[in-house]
A and B are shown apart, each in its own frame.
Chain A
Amino acid sequence: NAGVTQTPKFRVLKTGQSMTLLCAQDMNHEYMYWYRQDPGMGLRLIHYSVGEGTTAKGEVPDGYNVSRLKKQNFLLGLESAAPSQTSVYFCASSYRGDSGNTIYFGEGSWLTVV
């Protein structure tokens, strides 16, 4: 059981380049999330999905796009990377059970935009 897997773990981009971060979960969870974490700060929600084929904006969605074509995958795209998007990106998936929400996080993807 792999849990939540993020690809790639590290990436350096030049300003203006595009890239896609892939998040995959094997737990059949309905809900998936993309967060970013900047130094000394908590996690800020970029986009999230409450099911296959659905996406919604979080707190800081500008400059990012997402897709959830398959239930197990949630893709985060940067169309034209900017230095302000240098950050650590975390993906998560969750389900809502009788005792509350259970969430699983990936190990993070370190992105540097130069």
Chain B
Amino acid sequence: KQEVTQIPAALSVPEGENLVLNCSFTDSAIYNLQWFRQDPGKGLTSLLLIQSSQREQTSGRLNASLDKSSGRSTLYIAASQPGDSATYLCAVWDSSYKLIFGSGTRLLVRP
């Protein structure tokens, strides 16, 4: 059974800091890995999708890496801003078309 773990559960940083969010999964036979953002009381916004054959994806100040063999992914946020405050969710796609989520990292960027 695929299990996805995210560390840390919560993070508070001052504005401008670079930060890394961690995600690990137990079964390396994944199809893709995806990072989402969720604002309080809202739905999910897709940030980055990494195919299993890729090592990383970048979008603006966000960079996500994938190491399938070790079952790990990281989301790097450069020059953090208060508007980045949200919960970040990591999820893996398996070969049965299921998307399995981690419990998320709640990020607060202090002005």
Chain B residues with a Cβ closer than 8 Å to the other chain, count: 25
**Do the beta carbons of B97 and A50 come within 8 Å of each other?**
yes
Chain A positions within 8 Å of B20 at CB level? none
Q: What are 20 A-to-B residue pairs whose CB atoms are below 8 Å? A: A33-B98, A40-B104, A40-B106, A42-B89, A42-B104, A48-B98, A56-B96, A58-B98, A90-B43, A90-B44, A94-B99, A96-B97, A99-B51, A101-B31, A103-B34, A103-B46, A103-B99, A107-B42, A107-B43, A108-B43
B65 within 8 A of A: no
CB distance from A86 to the nearest CB of B (A): 15
Shortest 6 CB-CB distances between A and B: which pairs? A42-B101, A42-B103, A43-B101, A100-B32, A105-B44, A107-B43
Chain A positions within 8 Å of B29 at CB level? none
A62 within 8 A of B: no
Interface SS majority for chain B: strand
A41 within 8 A of B: yes
- Within residues 26 to 48 of chain A, which ones have a CB less than 8 A from any CB in chain B? 31, 33, 35, 40-45, 48
Provide the bound-state CA to CA distance between A43 and B89, in Å: 9
Flag B44-59 by CB within 8 Å of A: 1 or 0 each. 1010010100000000
| Max chain B C-beta neighbours (<10 A), residue from A42, A90, A107 | A42
**Do the beta carbons of B42 and A31 come within 8 Å of each other?**
no
Residue numbers of A with Cβ under 8 A of B are 31, 33, 35, 40-45, 48, 50, 56, 58-59, 90, 92, 94, 96, 99-103, 105-108
Provide the bound-state CA to CA distance between A1 and B98, in Å: 25
**Do the beta carbons of A45 and B97 come within 8 Å of each other?**
no
Provide the bound-state CA to CA distance between A44 and B97, in Å: 14
B100 within 8 A of A: yes
- Within residues 22 to 81 of chain B, which ones have a CB less than 8 A from any CB in chain A? 31-32, 34, 42-44, 46, 49, 51
Provide the bound-state CA to CA distance between A100 and B53, in Å: 11
